Amino acid sequence: MTEALAVVCTLLVLLSVSFYLSWRASRLDRLHTRLETAQAALDAALARRGAVVGELAASGVLGPAASVLLADAAARARRAGERADREVAESNLSRVLRAVLAETGAAADGGDLLAETYAAARHVHIARRFHNDTVTAIHTARSSRLVGALHLAGHARLPAYFEMDDEPPAPLDQHWPDLPGEGGNER
């Protein structure tokens, strides 16, 4: 009788332990899926920014010198292969964009293209923050001893942060349409 009870208890404990472990593993699995989505979104945002900046450079609305700077930075960002090179090249693109728009943005036409550039830069900022937030969540989840000892994360490599300067250019007043009734005399 007591033996049967002991067997039942042992089975129950084993069952709940295995449930708990599979729950922990599925949480990790979900985090890794979230990371894949975040990584894809970051790649897409960077690619989009590169394309829009390329277009802005080609349009020439910011003048020839600024166009050369933009085209150069966008091309370097596109060509960079290794992650570390990419981080540097994309950061440089952010800096060039800020510098160029702060310098000549106020005088430029092509409001739509400028608004699109700002939106693309903002997308990069959002996507990188979400990516790195996901990386933090995975680091936290995998720092648990249980996860480490039982290899719950499988063979997935510990993800790395994407380090870059992603500060978008300041949204220029000129990007916003004029308010009705407000005189244009301050321009």
Partner 1 sequence: MRVGLVCPYSWDVPGGVQQHVGDLAEALMELGHEVSVLTPCDADTELPAHIVSAGRAVPVPYNGSVARLAFGLRTANRVRRWVRDGAFDVLHVHEPTAPSLSLLACWVADGPIVATFHTSNPRSRAMAASAGMLQTALEKVNGSIAVSEAARKTLVEHLGGDAVLIPNGVWTRRYADAEPLPGWPGEGGAIGFLGRMDEPRKGLAVLLEAFNDLGRRRRDLRLLLAGPGDAAEVRARVAPDLRDRVTVLGRVSDTDKARVYRSVDVFCAPNLGGESFGIVLAEAMSAGATVLASDIPAFRHVLRGGAAGELFAVGRARSLAGRAAALLDDPARRAELSRAALRAVRAYDWPAVAADVVRVYETVLPVGAGGPVGAGSGR
CA distance 48 to 184: 33
Q: Which of 32, 34, 78, 98 binds partner 1 (CB under 8 A)?
A: 34
**CB 140 to partner 1: min, Å:** 6
Q: Which of 75, 41, 53, 38 is closest to 121 using CA atoms?
A: 53
Of the pair 7, 173, the CB lying nearest partner 1 is at 173
Q: Which of 41, 69, 71, 147 binds partner 1 (CB under 8 A)?
A: 41
Applying CB under 8 A, does 30 fall inside the site for partner 1? yes
Strands (E), 9-108: none
Applying CB under 8 A, does 171 fall inside the site for partner 1? yes
The region, left, alpha or beta by phi > 0 then psi within -120 to 50, assigned to residue 159 is beta
Q: Which of 94, 63, 59 is closest to 77 using CA atoms?
A: 94
Give 79's Cβ-side CA count (13 Å radius): 6
**CB 112 to partner 1: min, Å:** 14
**CB 103 to partner 1: min, Å:** 19
Applying CB under 8 A, does 112 fall inside the site for partner 1? no
Q: Which of 113, 116, 120, 95 is closest to 44 using CA atoms?
A: 120
CA distance 174 to 76: 29
Query: Which CA distances in Å does 14 have to 18, 21, 160, 180?
Result: 6, 10, 35, 71
Segment near partner 1 (CB under 8 A); pick from 59-67, 77-85, 87-95, 179-187: 179-187
Applying CB under 8 A, does 132 fall inside the site for partner 1? yes
Residues near partner 1 (CB under 8 A), total: 34
Applying CB under 8 A, does 119 fall inside the site for partner 1? yes
Which residue ranges make up the site for partner 1 (CB under 8 A)?
Answer: 23, 26-27, 30-31, 34, 37-38, 40-41, 44-45, 119, 122-123, 125-127, 129-130, 132-134, 136-137, 140-141, 171, 173, 176, 179, 181-182, 186
